[in-house]
């Protein structure tokens, strides 16, 4: 599933309720549209997963080929901060205090929700803008050095 895309500005109310755009909710697989798993992002954001992607993410963390101390610390930060949220009738979830604090959303009445393919990210607009500006050189350098021709990635089926 890679249909989560787009950038949305949405209201974060004083009760920390956030309405996830219907376009993103309906991009979740059938039968998995009523809930979302959220945790801290790699950057200063909150990352959201539908159930299948959340299971994949946990499997990846469990299979990391790193020392056990580092693996425990990473799992503690990502799985220990995770929250399973169920969408209400208006498509809203409540963001937990620790994730709001991590992503620096305490004083935000509006946040950015970014679809990133298989996940979505919830950002403080100021931090998102700063991150985008800081990333521009990396993006230009990387995209300028890779091929976007699908034939470079396609291996024909021998059968």
pLDDT per residue, tens digit, the chain (159 aa), is 468 999 999 999 999 999 999 999 999 988 889 999 999 999 999 999 999 999 999 999 999 999 999 999 999 999 999 999 999 999 999 999 999 999 999 999 999 999 999 999 999 999 999 988 778 888 788 888 887 776 776 666 666
Structure tokens at 72: 């425990």
Q: Where are the domains of the chain?
A: 4-125
Yes or no: say if 59 and 51 are a contact pair by the CB < 8 Å rule.
Answer: no
Model pTM? 0.87
Question: Nearest 5°: phi and psi at 137?
Answer: -65, -40
- The residues facing 109 across adjacent strands are none
- CATH placement of domain 4-125: 3.40.1550.20
What's 106's DSSP letter? T
Q: What is the pLDDT of residue 25?
A: 94
Structure tokens at 58: 């946990």
Q: Which residues contact 78 (CB under 8 A, 6 or more apart)?
A: 39, 40, 57, 61
What's the rounded Cα separation, in Å, for the pair 113 and 124?
9
Question: Nearest 5°: phi and psi at 46?
Answer: -105, 135
Q: What is the pLDDT of residue 141?
A: 83
């Amino acid at each position: 599933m890679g249909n989560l895309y787009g950038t949305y500005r949405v209201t974060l109310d004083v009760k920390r309720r956030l309405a996830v755009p219907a376009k993103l909710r309906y991009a979740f697989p059938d039968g998995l549209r009523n809930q979302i798993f959220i945790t801290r992002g790699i950057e200063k954001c909150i990352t959201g997963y539908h159930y299948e992607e959340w299971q994949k993410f946990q499997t990846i963390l469990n299979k990391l080929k790193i020392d056990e101390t580092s693996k425990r610390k990473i799992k503690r930060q990502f799985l220990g901060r995770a929250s399973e949220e169920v969408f209400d009738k208006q498509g809203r979830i409540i963001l937990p205090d620790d994730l709001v604090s991590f992503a620096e959303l305490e004083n935000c009445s509006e946040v950015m929700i970014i679809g990133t393919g298989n996940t979505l990210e919830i950002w403080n607009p100021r931090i998102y803008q700063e991150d985008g500006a800081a990333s521009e050189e990396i993006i230009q350098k990387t995209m300028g050095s890779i091929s976007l021709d699908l034939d470079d990635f396609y291996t024909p089926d021998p059968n």
